Every structure is written in C-alpha cells, then in structure tokens.
Chains A and B, each alone.
Chain A
Amino acid sequence: MNNAAQKAFSLNGKTILVTGASSGLGRQIAIACAQRGARLVITGRNAARLQETHDQLAGTGHIQVTADLTIAEDRERLGQASTAIDGVVLCFGGQMLSPIRQLKEDLMTAMYRTHFLAPVMLTQRLLQANVINKQGSIVFMLSTSAHIGTRGVGPYSAMKSGLLGIIRCLAIELAPRRVRVNGISPSVVPTPQLWGEDNEQNEPLNKERQRHPLGLGTPQDVANGAIYLLSDASRWVTGTSLVMDGGAVL
C-alpha cells in the first residue's frame, strides 16, 4: 500500500535538520521523523544527550553535530555538515520568565541570542550556502505566547512573536523556490526540563491543565504537527503557524 495520500505523509528520502535535538520536543521530533523514513541531521549543545537521541533514531545514515547555535562558528560548522536538506526544525531554547519592570539587560540579551538570533542566523547560513532543497520546509518552534499575552512571559513572547515576522517575510522570499516557512505554536507540553516532574505537587502544571479543554499535550503531539509541516502533505501551507493548544484558544 503506497498510494498518493500515504506518500504525501511519508518522509522517505528526505533529510531533516533538527536543532535542540538533545532533549524535549526536539528529541521527540527527531525520533518521530526517523520513524517516518527521514535521514536526520541532529544538533544540540550537550554531546552525551545528543548521542542518546542519536541512539534512538530508526534507520541509518543520521549524523549528529554538537553545537551551540548562539555562536557563529558553530552555526558555520553545522552549515558545512548539512547538505541537501529537505526540512529544518528549529526548536532549541528554554523559558526565562521576568516581569518587564524587573527585566535585566543580560536576560533580555540571552533571550534574544537563544530564541531569535540563533534560529534566524542559522537559517541565513543554510540559505546562503544553498543547502535547502526546492520544495523544502522550514519550521520554527514557536509557542502560543507568540500570539497571546501572559504575565511574566514578555521576553520569551517577544522573541516568538519576532519569529512570526521572520516566518511571514521568509515565506514570501522563498515561495519562488516552493520552500515553505511555518511555525508550530504549542501551548503547555510538560517536558521535564522546562516544567519539572508532572505530579500532584506541580502546581503550575496542574493550573495549566485546567485551562486546556483537552488537557496538556505530549511531545509526540507536537512531533506529529512537525511531520505534517515537513511532509509534502503541507506543500501549499506557508507563512502561518500551526496552533496546538488543546482548545485553550488564542
């Protein structure tokens, strides 16, 4: 059984670059893409954890590049290791909370370097080096905070909103090569690194759960969204962001 629809949702023969693949959403996206037939280029800061992800990838031919993408030389190195890429998922990061009144320049600068400068300049490197294939797909990991206001989330929210601006403009710039550019905007997905252990004592998580009609999401849910946006099934989707929020609604 391999009809047109099934082929459209397959990642067979595609090479997908996933950043932030050493943990959380990035790791699950890499694992799910490999299961669907893709060859992976994975990158992350922590070599040991990146190796753990690599060990979980189905199939062969995957490569891993330990890199800190806030550093220009590391982006250059990753760009050189990447050839003929069909899909890019930019999902490294981490939350940093601060009410604006207490905002420190150091924190804001760190947010900017990690959440905005790194994914944007890596994309620039890949485009300049011409390693993204025609009909490729670029996916930025956003968050519902790209669209909504939440107390204390200003710096993060601003960087994710900023990426929406990049997504829209890049979608127009790359349309002639039929490369699509989109985001995924998940609401709360309890990954241990960001949210701690999900148990009865975890008050922030339990509060969030109540706000979501379908409850909280899993990394696999987000990975499925990424697969749709990376596969040919979404070849006419560009310049938008797939909101995944269990019905909490923007």
Chain B
Amino acid sequence: MSAADPFSLAGKRILVTGASSGIGRQIAISCAQMGAQLVVSGRNVERLAATFAELEGEGHIQFGADLSRQEDIDRLAAGAGVLDGLVHAAGISKLAPFRLISRMQLDEMFSSNVYAPMLLTKGLLAKKRIANGGSILFISALASHVGPLATGAYSASKAALLGAMRTLALEVVKQGLRANCIAPGYVRTPMLDSLNQSGGSIDEHAKLTPLGLGEPEDIAYAAVFYLSDASRWITRNYFIVDGGLTVPMDIYA
C-alpha cells in the first residue's frame, strides 16, 4: 500500500496503554502491522515484553507502568515522546452487586478506568506531546449503556469516559486533535475469561450476540480506523462495535 493510503499508520507514533493483554495487546500488534511506531505500556512487564516481541517493524518502545499510580503516569507522559495517536486500552473489571460496593472498590475501579486515561491525556497535553492531527481514543465498553448485573462500578467507570471524551474533543480541536470512544461488546479476552470464572453470565450474553463473540482484532481494526487519517473528520464520536448485541435493545431509553 502506498504512503498516500489514508488507512496507513506509517510515520505515526502511537501510545497504547494496557498493551500487555487482550484488546490493548491486539491494538498494538495491528497498529504496527499498519506501519505505526508503538509505545506500549502495561503493568505486567513479562507479558508486555511478549507483546513487544510481536510488533512488526522497528523503533518501538515498551514502558512498564502501573497507571493507577500518579508517578507512573508522570513517568510515561515524560518518556513517551511526541505522539500522533493515544489509545487508552488499560482497564480493570470486577463484578460486585450494588449492595456490596465499597469505597475501596470504587477508588480502585475509577483510578484505573477513569483517572488514569484522563490524567495521562492531561499530562501529555500539558507537555504538548500530541502532534497536530493526532487522535486520542478511549476504549469504553457497552456496559456503559447496558449495565449488566453486578457491574455497577465497572459500568459507571466506562460511562464516565463518554463525558470526558466529549469535553476533551471540544477543547483540543483548536490544536487539530481528535478524541473518540470505541464501545466494544463481548470480546474474547483474558478479562472476559476471568469474569466468567467469577460467576458472570457472560456466556449467556455471548449467545445473545447476533454475530457471536468478538475477537480482539475486531476492536483493533476499529481502532486503526479511528487512529488513521481515514477518520480525520470524526471527533466526539462514540462508536459501538458489538456484533449486533445492542441492536435489539433500546440502550438510549
């Protein structure tokens, strides 16, 4: 494919958080296949190194970081260099019925799923590390609109990203930056496996998905579109990638 290909990521530097597993890992791998130089970050340095080893091309860097800690956010913002794309794929998920939600659980969930992406973006913007034409992408989740049982904290944290993204996109448009959310449905990832083991009814939901369970690639390719110049006119957008799961639901009711 030529350099004029609007879907190519050649010449772009892209930071992907949560790249040590699941959706983040595949986004990093697919972005590298489309020609990007990656900065990958994750908590588990061994698994991060495994992702790193799978990246096509050269010039990638890896960055072990626990983004629930402000010092790690600051270190990553300072060390990432100038970026053309930023994907917030790091996140955690734990099931807890509403009556058992504790402040500690909420702090933990929001720290990873909301504060980390917001503060990392803020840190990078403050240092002017996102280049003109850059694309910022939040990986939300359809739980934000559906609210499955026992996901109160998780669903709230993913819904928060929508509001954050809408405001951010308006504020950074003058710098030529875009911000968007992708909301995946049920995708075959380690996170989904662990939810299943802790008694989630995820199998049932996967059965409800008209196109079946999604693969990490399905989210990664949507991310490639949102990071590439092919989507240069799209900002403040919340895009559902769910194999049709919510088509029979009135999620805006």
Contact = CB atoms under 8 A, between A and B. Distances in A.
Contact of B241 (A3, A237, A245): A237
A3 B211 contact: no
Given A221-B232, A247-B235, A247-B236, A237 B220 contact: no
Given A6-B34, A236-B211, A243 B220 contact: no
B79 interface: no
B211 A233 contact: no
B21 to A, nearest CB: 19
Nearest to B32: A5
A112 interface: no
Q: Which 9 A-B pairs have the closest CB atoms?
A: A239-B247, A175-B210, A5-B33, A233-B221, A236-B218, A224-B230, A247-B235, A221-B233, A213-B173
A221 B1 CA distance: 18
Interface in B151-165: none
Given A3-B33, A5-B220, A224-B7, A236 B233 contact: no
Given A3-B56, A233-B225, A240 B218 contact: no
Given A171-B210, A214-B173, 14 more contacts: A172-B244, A178-B211, A180-B211, A214-B233, A214-B235, A218-B233, A234-B222, A237-B241, A238-B210, A238-B243, A238-B247, A239-B244, A243-B234, A244-B233
A5 B243 contact: no
Interface string B91-117: 000000000000000000000000000
Contact of A5 (B170, B215, B221): B221
Given A214-B235, A247-B235, A238 B244 contact: yes
B210 A6 contact: no
B178 interface: yes
A246 B233 CA distance: 5
A168 interface: yes
14 contacts: A5-B30, A5-B31, A9-B7, A171-B247, A172-B244, A175-B211, A224-B6, A227-B230, A228-B225, A236-B211, A236-B242, A237-B240, A239-B246, A246-B234
Contacts of A227: 7, 230
Interface in B1-51: 1, 6-7, 30-31, 33-34
Interface of A: 1, 3-6, 8-9, 168, 171-172, 175, 178, 180, 213-214, 217-218, 220-221, 224-225, 227-228, 233-240, 242-247, 249
Contacts of B56: 3
Contacts of A237: 218, 222, 240-241, 243
A189 B248 CA distance: 31
Given A5-B224, A9-B224, A168-B247, A238 B211 contact: yes
Contacts of B225: 228, 233
B214 interface: yes
Contacts of A240: 239-240, 247
Nearest to A9: B7
A217 B237 contact: no
A239 B244 CA distance: 6
B39 to A, nearest CB: 18
B167 to A, nearest CB: 11
Contacts of B246: 239
